[in-house]
């Protein structure tokens, strides 16, 4: 998959992208919101090779895409199928060097449209740490909303149990500005949250436990 926007080229990774990608993931501020530690010089090639291999999206394998701005890779997009029918999850990381320029919004929104229009995807979700307010705002800017159903669960991390929250959102049709009426809920006993945003291309969304 390849696509371009006004300022960006979004494409599979190339072997020459290694140092640009390492600059993104060799950063404590970025990796503290991810499920892996920052890259090191010892493991960066092994980790990068996985991104090189993820060049095609299938039911069994994820797709990794480089976001190129002015000949430099400044972002990393990921897409993979979930267990839900016609549903994919997206992930993204961007260099702090381009923060505040709208490049992440430009890249992620173009990917969302591409998935809806060309891959027959009906739902798109993004699972993120709720402490990452910048990422939450990005989701909201492209039309995602925290909505509909919250589910609390526990994950053991670094020897401690951490609580997360999921949140599901419907969207009707391919137009990001056209939403269904929604309701919300809260949970006050979580020390940390994980939001799950969900697009629905069709006119209705039904969630079942």
Question: Do 86 and 110 reside in the same domain of the chain?
Answer: yes
Question: Do 8 and 42 reside in the same domain of the chain?
Answer: yes
| Structure-model confidence comparison of residues 90 and 30, the more confident one | 90
Question: Do 101 and 164 reside in the same domain of the chain?
Answer: no
Question: Do 197 and 101 reside in the same domain of the chain?
Answer: no
Give 191's pLDDT tier (boundaries 50, 70, 90). very low
| Structure confidence by residue, pLDDT tens digits, 39-50 | 889 999 999 999
Look at residues 121, 155, 170 and tell me which one is the last residue of a structural domain. 121
Q: Residue 132's domain spans which residues?
A: 126-209
| Structure confidence by residue, pLDDT tens digits, 81-120 | 988 888 888 889 999 888 889 999 999 999 988 988 888 8
Question: Do 109 and 150 reside in the same domain of the chain?
Answer: no
Question: Do 47 and 86 reside in the same domain of the chain?
Answer: yes
Question: Based on the structure, what is the number of domains in the chain?
Answer: 2
**Spatial separation of the C-alpha atoms in residues 206 and 196, rounded to whole Å:** 15
Give 158's pLDDT tier (boundaries 50, 70, 90). low
> Of all helices (H) and strands (E), which one includes residue 76?
strand 72-81
Name every residue whose Cβ is closer than 8 Å to that of residue 137 and which is 6 or more positions away in sequence.
Answer: none
Tokens of 6: 């006004």
Tokens of 143: 């039309």
CATH code of the domain in which 70 resides: 3.40.630.30
Question: Do 89 and 131 reside in the same domain of the chain?
Answer: no
Question: Do 53 and 142 reside in the same domain of the chain?
Answer: no
H helices of the chain, in order, are 18-25, 28-31, 44-53, 103-118, 133-141
Question: Do 87 and 113 reside in the same domain of the chain?
Answer: yes
Phi–psi pair at 87, nearest 5 degrees: -125, 135
Question: Do 148 and 71 reside in the same domain of the chain?
Answer: no
Residue 123 has pLDDT above 90, yes or no: no
Would you say the pTM of this structure is higher than 0.85? no
**Spatial separation of the C-alpha atoms in residues 180 and 176, rounded to whole Å:** 11
Question: Do 94 and 6 reside in the same domain of the chain?
Answer: yes
Question: Do 117 and 135 reside in the same domain of the chain?
Answer: no
Look at residues 121, 143, 164 and tell me which one is the last residue of a structural domain. 121
Look at residues 85, 101, 121 and tell me which one is the last residue of a structural domain. 121
């Amino acid at each position: 998959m390849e696509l371009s926007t006004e300022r960006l080229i979004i494409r599979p990774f190339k072997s020459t992208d290694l140092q640009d990608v390492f600059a993104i993931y060799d950063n404590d501020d970025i990796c503290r919101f991810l499920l892996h530690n920052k890259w090191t010089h010892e493991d960066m090639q092994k980790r990068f090779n996985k991104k090189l291999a993820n060049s095609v999206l299938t039911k069994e394998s994820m797709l990794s895409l480089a976001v190129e701005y002015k000949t430099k890779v400044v972002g990393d997009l990921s897409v993979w199928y979930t267990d839900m029918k016609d549903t994919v999850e997206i992930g993204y990381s961007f260099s702090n060097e381009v923060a505040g320029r709208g490049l992440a919004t430009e890249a992620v929104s173009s990917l969302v449209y591409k998935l809806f229009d060309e891959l027959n995807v009906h739902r798109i979700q993004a699972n993120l740490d709720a402490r990452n307010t910048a990422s939450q705002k990005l989701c909201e800017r492209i039309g995602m909303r925290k909505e509909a159903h919250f589910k609390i669960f526990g994950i053991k991390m670094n020897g401690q149990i951490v609580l997360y929250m999921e949140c599901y959102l419907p969207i009707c049709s391919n137009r990001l500005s056209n939403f269904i009426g929604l309701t919300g809920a809260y949970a006050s006993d979580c020390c940390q949250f994980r939001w799950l945003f969900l697009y629905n291309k069709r006119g209705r969304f039904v969630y079942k436990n």
